[in-house]
Amino acid sequence: MLDFQNSLHIRCDYATLALHRYQSPLFELPLKGGLVLIKEVIIVEGKDDTTAIKRAVDADTIETNGSAIGKDVLARIRLANERRGIIIFTDPDHAGERIRKIVANHAPGCKHAFLPQEKAYYKGDIGIENASPEAIRQALSELRTETTAMTGEVTMEDLMAAGLLVHPQAASRRLELGKLLGIGYANGKQFYKRCTSFNITKQEFQAALDQLGYQLEE
């Protein structure tokens, strides 16, 4: 298990639901003007996102400036991932998920932060720039680390049995379960990939289902 203390340069007690997820109050040791120092570089979409991040924590960012990410930006992201590690923190919408996928493909072992859409919404716009500092800190306290080992225990059959695929409420169920698991919303195929790449355990999956009151179908 990666050490959350090293990730955020603070000392705090924490508990994990499973490997690769961090849950922590996060801010027991404020640094530099009352903000916590983030070791990793945070990947965001634009300048307004950077402004929102810097209101919440003390961190460096790299801005992709949209989904047409230039080669020079990808090179900076790869270098940052090698030297310091990165946290992908894109908007919780289709474009943001596309950018997340592109960046993750160029940064093996990267970390992910997910923000629920309702916490990123303002006057018809969805974006990290709309989130409160508290919401951003919460998302950064529940990081997921991507792995290429793909050793997750959850199967497609488990998703089917939980009504996350081919079910009238499949999309809404994935939305709510994604919030609890800290992996964000995704379509069925992508949801399964996240369960495997983030090593979601059967126990963790079942605990989230129980919390939502979803029953596995035989």
Indicate whether 26 and 97 sit together in one domain.
Answer: yes
Indicate whether 114 and 179 sit together in one domain.
Answer: no
Answer yes or no: is 64 within a domain: yes
Indicate whether 180 and 89 sit together in one domain.
Answer: no
Answer yes or no: is 17 within a domain: yes
Indicate whether 81 and 124 sit together in one domain.
Answer: yes
Terminal-to-terminal C-alpha distance of the chain? 33
Q: Which of 87, 120, 145 finishes a domain?
A: 145
Indicate whether 9 and 55 sit together in one domain.
Answer: yes
Indicate whether 175 and 207 sit together in one domain.
Answer: yes
Q: What is the pLDDT of residue 197?
A: 86
If one counts the domains in the chain, the total is 2
Indicate whether 170 and 135 sit together in one domain.
Answer: no
- Could you list the residue range(s) of the whole structural domain that residue 164 is in? 156-212
Q: What is the pLDDT of residue 213?
A: 84
Buried b or exposed e, range 83-102, using 16+ CB within 10 angstroms:
eebbbbbbbbeeebbebbeb
CATH of the domain at 42: 3.40.1360.10
Answer yes or no: is 28 within a domain: yes
Q: What is the pTM of this model?
A: 0.76
Answer yes or no: is 184 within a domain: yes
**Rounded-to-integer distance, Cα 180 and Cα 211, Å:** 9
Indicate whether 100 and 120 sit together in one domain.
Answer: yes
Q: What is the pLDDT along the chain (218 residues), one digit of tens a residue?
A: 334 334 443 323 222 333 333 334 344 444 556 788 999 999 999 999 999 999 999 999 999 998 889 999 999 999 999 999 999 999 999 999 999 999 999 999 999 999 999 999 999 999 999 999 999 999 999 999 988 666 678 999 999 999 999 889 999 999 999 989 989 888 999 899 889 888 899 999 999 999 988 755 54
Answer yes or no: is 167 within a domain: yes
Indicate whether 43 and 120 sit together in one domain.
Answer: yes
Phi, psi of 36 (to 5 degrees): -85, 140
**Rounded-to-integer distance, Cα 35 and Cα 52, Å:** 13
Answer yes or no: is 150 within a domain: no
Answer yes or no: is 151 within a domain: no
**Rounded-to-integer distance, Cα 13 and Cα 205, Å:** 23
Indicate whether 22 and 41 sit together in one domain.
Answer: yes
Indicate whether 102 and 208 sit together in one domain.
Answer: no
Q: Which of 97, 118, 145 finishes a domain?
A: 145
Indicate whether 183 and 115 sit together in one domain.
Answer: no
Answer yes or no: is 56 within a domain: yes
